[in-house]
Chain A
Amino acid sequence: MRTAAYLACLALVAVAITLADLRIALLAAGVKSVLVGAELMELRHAHRLHLVAFVAFIGLLATSLVILA
């Protein structure tokens, strides 16, 4: 799963660069962050509240930046 998350992140980088759209790139950054959080930061194994808080923070950050930028 860790390798799958890593490869998915690489694919999302490629998609964001190819489309060259800031909003899509910021949303892709949010998805990559959640993948890194769940798999590499091991939040998948943490108490559910930790994963929910992390996803909520990243979602709020990505959405705010999409609106601001």
Chain B
Amino acid sequence: MTALSPSVEATSGSSSTLAPLDGRTSLFEPPGGLLMWIIVAVELLAFGVLFAFIGLLRGSEPEAFRSGQALLDDGVGLALTFTLLTSGWLVAEAVHACRQADWRGARVRYALALAVGLAFVALKTWDYAAKASAGIALGVSPFWDAYLLATGFHFIHVLLGLYMLARVGRKVGRSRFEDPETSVAGTALFWHMCDVAWFFLFPLFHLAV
């Protein structure tokens, strides 16, 4: 075999660099690696079930939703959306820089993505603290049960994603990745999954019943 497909080359373990994506990858070697896509698919299915539950709850508990939504800050919700989207875009640019072997560019973009991601964490932590000081907790109403559990589930994924991004960003261009496609592009994939989940969570809680 004279030429390996980009993803085969990237996942061979013989290279510490991420191969550029020229053309389409094969069915069993998607960008980000098959293992990470299986994880992302399972997570998205779990989020999908959660969204369906929230959708049903909106219909069955309209009063609880109205009173709960009156206490939500739409500005904070929008800021959270902006930070996640921006961080996701920066990570995608970082992965692209890795595919071009532009290590300095990749590290800068990872640092910016982490900073913006940490802004999400800070804002969400502040939001939870404000809710707790207002006496909001699990068991207060069906709305707050759904809100705290669903956004908490999402928040755990954000924390995990940030941890993985920090580890990858620190290693990029400095040390070898055994499987660069899964480590670099796969970690980004997980981060974008957090974006996708938030796209649906935000309107389900913030937009009026």
Contacts and interface: CB of A to CB of B under 8 A. Distances in A.
A binds B: yes
A20 B85 contact: no
Interface in B9-44: 21, 23-27, 30-32, 37, 41, 44
Interface residues of A, number: 38
Contacts of A50: 27, 30, 37
A56 interface: no
B59 to A, nearest CB: 7
Contacts of B58: 68-69
B146 to A, nearest CB: 12
Contact of A42 (B21, B56, B74, B208): B21
* Secondary structure dominating the interface of A: helix
Nearest to B200: A29
* Secondary structure dominating the interface of B: helix
A33 B81 contact: no
Given A22-B207, A61-B51, A42 B199 contact: no
B107 to A, nearest CB: 18
A29 B202 CA distance: 9
Contact of A36 (B51, B82, B88, B200): B88
B85 A6 contact: yes
Interface in A1-46: 2-3, 5-6, 9-10, 13, 16-17, 20-22, 25-26, 29, 32-33, 36-37, 39-43, 45-46
B24 to A, nearest CB: 6
| Interface residues on chain B, size class | 35 or more
Contacts of A25: 202-203, 207
A41 B207 contact: no
B76 interface: no
A17 to B, nearest CB: 7
A36 B81 contact: no
Given A41-B32, A46-B31, A9 B85 contact: yes
A9 to B, nearest CB: 5
Interface stretch (B120-128, B148-156, B167-175, B188-196): B188-196
B200 to A, nearest CB: 5
For the complex of A and B, list the 3 residue pairs with the smallest distance between their C-beta atoms, beginning with the closest: A68-B55, A25-B203, A42-B31
18 contacts: A13-B85, A17-B74, A17-B78, A20-B207, A20-B208, A25-B203, A26-B200, A36-B192, A36-B195, A40-B88, A45-B24, A46-B25, A47-B25, A47-B27, A57-B41, A61-B51, A64-B55, A65-B51
Interface of A: 2-3, 5-6, 9-10, 13, 16-17, 20-22, 25-26, 29, 32-33, 36-37, 39-43, 45-50, 57-58, 61-62, 64-65, 68-69
